[in-house]
Structure 1
């Protein structure tokens, strides 16, 4: 059985120029519960470099993805992002640091783009409850990386 047949019904496909394998290695190095599942080679596929797979299937914390070597036609935008629910500030700091490394870009309110241009939201699990408080919401709007202690302080003031 190929990886696609055994996949969940809905699987995000991530379009890369010709560096899908490199991106999969990067993502699997960041998440502790990650694995590369398989790849599909399709001889003659347009814009797929010779010897490289057309797709690479992988899993991050139980979420299956497929990375596609699709050529230079499409780029990621902030219109789609993946949220990482973090259990502590240390976890926020760790994911933030790894995902912004080597050319990633910080954005606002816990959002960032990794070096491939894929958008992530790195947020503590308490965030939805905290930002119900207008002062905490205002504090978050001034942050790049979420600082849980500052949000908690703002929510109590």
Structure 2
């Protein structure tokens, strides 16, 4: 396990959020749930205080902090996707039940956490050796909400969208 892991702040739904996140990606699981042993700002005795979980091999902690705290774009979680089917599946799942789509493959899930759903092919196009193609792919990217690998490829190659 890594020496450094993100801690996500929740207001009573840390266990629900962790269970949702681990359902999305392979090599993910709930490691431990710690309950409050005394009444506190975090909750009553027996309610969930901390959930330690692994998400795609990376350790995380979810904390029920006792009050609502807003996330910002300053910290987001990027998921590298092998293909369009994975982009589509994760995009739809993270947007379900109140998430908000944003430009360039970013979204905010129903818990307020920011994610970047990015095809691994993206760097092939925006960082490719053809600088004009890379520029076209970047322009295509800037016009997208959910990223579309085929549209990025066509832009890089200088072909018009179908």
Structure 1, unmatched stretches of 5+, are: 1-6
- Segments of structure 2 that go 5 or more residues without pairing to the other structure are 128-133
RMSD: 1.3
Tell me which structure has the larger Cα radius of gyration: 2
Counterpart of 1:65 (choices 40, 53, 60) is: 60
The answer (yes or no) to whether the contact 2:36–2:43 under 8 Å persists in 1 is no
Alignment of 1:28 with 2:25, yes or no, is: no
Aligned to 1:131: 126
Q: How many residues align?
A: 151
Instruction: Show the 5 A alignment for 1:94-113.
Output: 94-113=89-108
Q: Distance in 2 between matches of 1:42 and 1:100?
A: 31
Question: 2: distance between equivalents of 1:99 and 1:27?
Answer: 9
TM-score normalized with structure 2 length: 0.88
Pair 1:144–1:45, CA change in 2 (3 A): farther
1:47–1:69: 8 Å Cα contact kept in structure 2? no
